[in-house]
Amino acid sequence: MATASNIDDLLQCPICLDILHDPKVLDCQHTFCANCLKVHHTSSSRRSGSSNTIDCPTCRLRSNLINNSIDSLPGNYIVQWAPGARALYIRGDFNNWQEKQYPLTRDEWGKWTITIPPLADGSPAIKHGQAIKLLVETPSGELVDRLCPWSRYVQQTENSKVFHGVFYNPPDDQIYKFKHPQPKKKDRLKIYEAHVGISSWKGEVATYENFRVNVLPRIVRQGYNTVQLMAVMEHAYYASFGYQVTSFFAASSRYGTPEELKALVDEAHRYGLTVLLDIVHSHACKNTYDGINMFDGTRGCFFHDNARGYHDLWDSRCFNYMEREVMRFLLSNIRYWLEEFKFDGFRFDGVSSMLYHSHGIAHGFSGSYNEYFGLATDTDSFNYLQLANYVSQTLYPESITIAEEVSGMPALCRPINEGGAGFDYRLAMAIPDVWIKLLKEKKDEDWNVGDLTWTLVNRRWSEKNIAYAESHDQALVGDKTIAHWLFDSQIYTHMQVLAERTLIVERGLALHKMIRLLTYALGGEGWLNFEGNEFGHPEWLDFPRIGNNDSYHYARRLFYLADDEALRYKYFNAWDQAMNACEEAYKWLSAKNTYISRRHEDDKIVVFERGNQGLLFIFNFHPTKSFTDYRIGCAQPGKYKIVLNSDSRSFDGLDRVDNEQIFTAEDYKWDERPFSFKVYTPNRTAIVLAVIDEMK
């Protein structure tokens, strides 16, 4: 561990020395980009001074800090960073919105402070629940209202779509007290990706309380061990799906209060669920009145003051990760969500956009190393991601981080001390694209199972992937879920159990199960499902907006479909439960060894083993051909039993395979495996077998 005496020489961390001298801070690793970090350290120290008034990201959060910029004991002490502002004032309900009654004082580093004395009765002037805003005099002399960037709670007024800040300092008896311990770090993530606002069948914005009471039990019953919450960070535009963040420290007030979110997380922990937050540090909404853009009246506050500060495709602003106060803001944000709400980690959005000056737009990546380590790579962003992971995993060693990254950046999921970015997992984003391409462009008989399996196993060495067949991206309006591609219009007309079993329905029932299992079993070291897809939700997602007359009809999840005994959705739901149960029993996600013994293009057969428990997967993707006495190679001798069968009646299959039969491996080499046996493999069927433990 670096000491205070040698940190200055090591320059192992780009955060200034006052932060590094904190005894809680471990030394960063030598493998950071030394030149970039030295430049960062020198330039950021020169610009920002050494005051610790705003809470340091790696220091203990001050116990009396309310908005990380306003405390209330005994008066209200306010500090803001607005280097470009000519003047700064605080106003709100507490002073009847008088404009210049409370001016802040600026120091040489662009930090503004004021202490508002307590009232005569000793209570703070600004009280819990009061609306507040900052009045900023811009460099041009214009007076503009701004929200505090550190606001913990913001709300829309009844007659306006613009948010206002709320001073959030509830009395102790109204603060939620966590009751349950956070789970230990899991090595086999089965993730249920969810959006609180759409988690109801009603045409409304659902709540944290609804999710806690009605959705968490469903997630547990399905066999997931992790829930990933989207769109929690406050966003002014609901239809942005939470990816145009306006208030980074505020839990969205659409769904309820921060205390209700804490109760949701705590209840998840009671069930043993890990809870991940979908965090957006790749960019910010360009809104000014209810965002952080142009906070001090300049383009350069928080963001680059040039073309680099704009994301043309997303119409948003890009952070200046070289600025010390931006680092302080974002790293504090990570600590805040971990500590205040007890989140267990993050899914980082838009990592590919961060890693390249082009944001990866119109940039095809072949996987060659020379595409990643040249001038096109944004080293500032890479260093920030290292720091973000360092802070998260040092302060909370049980925390988990996942990168949404599509380019295949090497070492993204390798430890920081190896020069990696430090993520635990990356999303296997190529997989859903392959499935959609096959369903849209290829006849079933033309599927290339070799190419398909190559995509599923093609990942960076020793970097863990979260596999998924589809996520929220495929559910958005303008696209289709896998179920929708398979069933087309018959998803609305032929899903009754007693309805005609057409060829389209037959195909959809079979392939939906097979696609999900093959992805789950072969595609990574974790599995992700977007809420509703586990039972083949029939509709896309479309949030209320002008283009659909502000309708909530498609901004909901029809969970009752999976519970209706008269509908076929129940079979998909049962299959999803069975897959998770099978993985829980045989733990294939954490298995280090996978061997694909057969990829037969004419037969459309895929056979592979995974793990050390004799787990054998057999997929027959042929649309018409079933095979009797089909020889399958295996690594282990002994007897095999069927542990999962997509053709079972319980999953609305045709029941062509006897689930009770036992297969005995022969000492007969096949497909480069030392043993083999023969099976009956019907068309469009997946079968999983396991060695029988004779000792049980």
Using CA atoms, how far apart are residues 169 and 65, in angstroms rounded to an integer? 9
What is the overall mean pLDDT for the chain? Answer: 89
Cα–Cα separations (whole angstroms), residue 612 to 580, 593, 616, 633: 18, 8, 10, 15
CA-nearest of 315, 280, 335, 317 to 22 is: 335
For 380, phi then psi, to 5°, come to -60, -45
More confident position, 502 or 74: 502
Work out the average pLDDT over 352-371.
88
In this prediction, residue 694 has a pLDDT band, given cuts at 50, 70 and 90, of: low
pLDDT for the residue numbered 199: 97
By percentage, how much of the chain surpasses pLDDT 70? Answer: 89
Question: CA-based diameter of the chain, in Å?
Answer: 92
* Residue after which a domain boundary falls, among 526, 561, 585: 585
pLDDT over threshold 50, residue 463: yes
The pLDDT of residue 57: 31
Strand extents, DSSP E, 349-452: 400-403, 425-427
Q: Domain check: are 34 and 88 in the same one?
A: no
Residue 74 preceded by cis peptide, ω within 30: yes
Residue with tokens 């057409």: 502
Q: Are both 492 and 600 inside the same structural domain?
A: no
Residue 62 placed within a domain: no
pLDDT at 677: 98
If asked whether residues 556 and 679 sit together in one domain, one would say: no
Residue 583 clears pLDDT 60, i.e. is over it: yes
With contact defined as beta carbons under 8 Å apart, do 466 and 516 qualify? no
**CATH number of domain containing 374:** 3.20.20.80
Please count the structural domains in the chain.
4
Residues 87 and 19 in one domain: no
Domain for residue 54, yes or no? no
Residue in 376, 436, 437, 438 with CA at minimum distance from that of residue 407 = 376
Assess contact for 57 and 334: CB atoms under 8 A. Answer: yes
* pLDDT of amino acid 71: 65
Residue 57 lies in a domain: no
Task: Read off the DSSP letter of residue 366.
Answer: -
Residue range 273-300: average pLDDT?
97
Assigned domain for 350 exists: yes
Q: Give the amino acid at 197.
A: G
- What was the pLDDT predicted at 365? 85
Q: In this structure, are 362 and 394 located in the same domain?
A: yes
Helix (H, G, I), strand (E, B) or coil at 81: strand
Do 581 and 607 lie in one domain? The reply is: no
Residue 424 lies in a domain: yes
CA distances from 642 to 159, 614, 680 (A): 61, 12, 12
Q: Are 537 and 495 in contact (CB under 8 A)?
A: no
Whether residues 34 and 82 fall in one domain? no
Q: Burial letters for 480-496: b for 16+ Cβ neighbours within 10 Å, e otherwise?
A: bbbbbbbbeebbeebbe
The range of the structural domain enclosing residue 104 comes to 70-174
Distance of CA 328 to the CA centre of its chain: 22
Provide the pLDDT for residue 70: 64
Q: What is the pLDDT of residue 16?
A: 34
Lowest mean pLDDT, pick from 53-62, 461-470, 558-567: 53-62
Contacts from 551-554 at CB under 8 Å and sequence distance 24+?
A: 551/203, 552/203, 552/204, 552/205, 553/203, 554/477
Whether residues 323 and 213 share a domain: the answer is: yes
615 and 586 in contact (C-beta within 8 Å)?
Answer: yes
Residue 15, pLDDT score: 35
**What pLDDT, on the 0 to 100 scale, is given for residue 319?**
98
Distance (Å) of CA 39 to CA 60, 108, 694: 27, 21, 64
CA dist., res. 387 & res. 409, Å (int): 17
pLDDT of residue 563: 97
Q: What is the pLDDT of residues 150-189, one digit of tens each?
A: 999 999 877 777 899 999 999 999 999 999 999 999 999 9
pLDDT at 626: 98
Same domain, 106 and 14: no
In contact, 473 and 448? CB cutoff 8 Å? no
Query: How many residues would you count in the chain?
Result: 696
pLDDT of residue 46: 36
Characterize the bridge pairing of strands 605-610 and 594-600.
antiparallel
Specify which residues 641 forms β-bridges with.
662, 690
As annotated, the active-site residues are: 349, 404
Looking at the predicted structure, is the pLDDT value of residue 356 above 90?
Answer: yes
Q: What band does 28 get if pLDDT is binned at 50, 70 and 90? A: very low
pLDDT band at 492; cut points 50, 70, 90: very high
The yes-or-no verdict on residue 108 having pLDDT over 60 is yes
Categorize the per-residue pLDDT at 18 as very low, low, confident or very high, splitting at 50, 70 and 90. very low
**Model confidence over 190-205: pLDDT tens digits?**
999 999 999 999 999 9
Residue 410 lies in a domain: yes
Residue 245: half-sphere exposure toward Cβ, Cα within 13 Å = 26
At residue 527, does pLDDT exceed 50? yes
pLDDT tens-digit readout, 615-660: 999 999 999 999 999 999 999 999 999 999 999 999 999 999 999 9
Q: Both 92 and 115 in a single domain?
A: yes
193: its two tokens: 């990706």
Least confident of 212-216, 367-371, 419-423: 367-371
**Eight-class DSSP state of 45:** H
Domain contains 1: no
Residues 125 and 226 in one domain: no
Residue 46: phi and psi, rounded to 5, are: -65, -35
pLDDT at 569: 98
| Residue at 681 is within a domain | yes
Do 324 and 215 share a domain, yes or no? yes
Would you state the structure tokens that stand for residue 139, as one six-digit string? 């460099």
Residue 614, both tokens: 């004799």
Give residue 72's pLDDT. Answer: 61
Residue that finishes a domain, picked among 545, 561, 585: 585
Q: Which of these ranges, 71-85, 93-107, 392-406, 507-521, has the smallest mean pLDDT?
A: 71-85
Tokens of 122: 């000793």
User: 47-105: per-residue pLDDT in tens?
Assistant: 444 333 333 333 333 323 333 466 666 778 999 999 999 999 999 999 999 999 999 99
pLDDT for the residue numbered 8:
35
Question: In this predicted structure, what is the pLDDT of residue 684?
Answer: 99
Q: Can you give the pLDDT at residue 371? A: 86
Residues paired with 666 in a beta bridge = 676
CB atoms within 10 A of CB 533: 26
The predicted pLDDT at position 131 comes to: 95
Under the banding of pLDDT at 50, 70 and 90, the label for residue 540 is confident
- Please say if the pLDDT value at position 531 is more than 60: yes
- Please tell me the predicted confidence (pLDDT) of residue 160: 76
On whether the CB atoms of residues 618 and 681 are closer than 8 A, the answer is yes
* Helices and strands, counts by H and E, the chain: 17, 30
| Predicted pLDDT at 62 | 32
Residue-level pLDDT at 36: 36
H helices of 496-551, in order, are 503-522
Chosen domain end from 556, 585, 614? 585
- On the 0-12 / 13-18 / 19+ scale of CB atoms within 10 A, 315 is exposed
Residue 45 reports pLDDT greater than 80: no
